[in-house]
């Protein structure tokens, strides 16, 4: 995320692998597109990872655009192209439309964003209450939600892509423990003192990615506890428990969630033997 945040007017981390940038000061869409291409190149060079980027007049359109050409796309939607871009897309691309809302709309013959935009505001309010107001605006690509630096962090994570795929346990464990140490350093530096959930992510040769997590009943606050949890979550990937065909590993990641601020009390620590 440090790579992505660089040079932005505002930065909002939406999840461990998704963020919003405000690039207004660059002057226009062409400048924003050039900035995005530089970001993609730097992420690929430094991390060995591709990413998809959407550029639009607001967060809503940018989010939909970022999903348009995954896993390595760059989609630019100009302000006067928003309706054209959205029209043919299925209604499910609208953030907030899940399976139930989709099913309700499809029963009315509404399958595309253009068809959704054809519904009157009063009709949407009658069927969905206050949510109908949001549907009306989102079908038109409208959103005034700011890119906010005040977002409350929900997780801290690090990952590393190896230069060569490997299944050497000592090397992988060494790198995983180093990642855990960096995660812990960032955790403390961001004003947190404890965590309850530890997640280890493994990407195999062939890009199959698997994550395993453990959430303790109580919070943990020590680096040693984090590293012990990482070790126990990772070790099954070296044998038949999580890697029955002996695939080599391309990438590992470590993440902590359910974070506690320094001002929040810790009931008791997570004991190592509770990590599966």
Distances (CA, A) of 26 to 7, 36, 52: 9, 12, 20
42 token code pair: 């730097």
230 token code pair: 């990482």
Catalytic residue, chosen from 13, 18, 45, 150, is 18
Question: CB 85: neighbour CB atoms within 10 A?
Answer: 19
Question: Do the beta carbons of residue 195 and residue 184 sit within 8 Å?
Answer: no
| 81 carries an active-site annotation | no
Estimate the share of the chain in helix, then strand, then coil, as percent rounded to the nearest 5.
40, 25, 35
Helix (H, G, I), strand (E, B) or coil at 170: helix
CA pseudo-torsion sign 76, 78, 84, 90: positive
* Rounded CA separation 211/203 (Å): 9
Could you tell me which of 186, 264, 193, 270 has the C-alpha nearest to residue 230?
270
Give the residue numbers annotated as catalytic, written as ranges: 18
């Amino acid at each position: 995320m440090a790579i992505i945040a660089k040079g932005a007017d505002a930065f909002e981390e939406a999840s461990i692998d998704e963020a919003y940038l405000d690039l207004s000061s660059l002057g226009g869409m062409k400048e924003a597109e050039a900035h995005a291409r530089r970001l993609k190149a730097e992420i690929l060079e430094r991390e060995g990872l591709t990413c998809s980027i959407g550029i639009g007049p607001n967060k809503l359109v940018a989010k939909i655009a970022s999903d348009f050409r995954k896993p390595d796309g760059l989609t630019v939607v100009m302000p006067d192209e928003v309706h054209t871009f959205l029209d043919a897309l299925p209604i499910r691309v609208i953030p907030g439309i899940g399976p139930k809302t989709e099913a309700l709309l499809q029963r009315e013959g509404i399958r595309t964003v253009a068809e959704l935009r054809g519904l009157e505001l009063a009709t949407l309010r009658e069927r969905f209450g206050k949510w109908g107001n949001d549907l009306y605006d989102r079908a038109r690509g409208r959103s005034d939600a700011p890119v906010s630096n005040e977002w409350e962090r929900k997780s801290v994570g690090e990952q590393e892509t190896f230069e060569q795929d490997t299944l050497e346990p000592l090397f992988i464990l060494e790198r995983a423990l180093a990642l855990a140490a960096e995660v812990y350093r960032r955790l403390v530096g961001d004003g947190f003192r404890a965590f309850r959930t530890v997640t280890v992510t493994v990407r195999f040769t062939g890009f199959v990615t698997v994550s395993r997590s453990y959430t303790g009943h109580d919070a943990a606050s020590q680096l040693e506890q984090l590293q012990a949890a990482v070790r126990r979550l990772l070790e099954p990937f070296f044998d038949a428990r999580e890697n029955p065909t002996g695939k080599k590993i391309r990438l590992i990641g470590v993440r902590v969630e359910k974070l506690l601020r320094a001002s929040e009390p810790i009931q008791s620590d997570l004991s190592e033997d509770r990590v599966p």
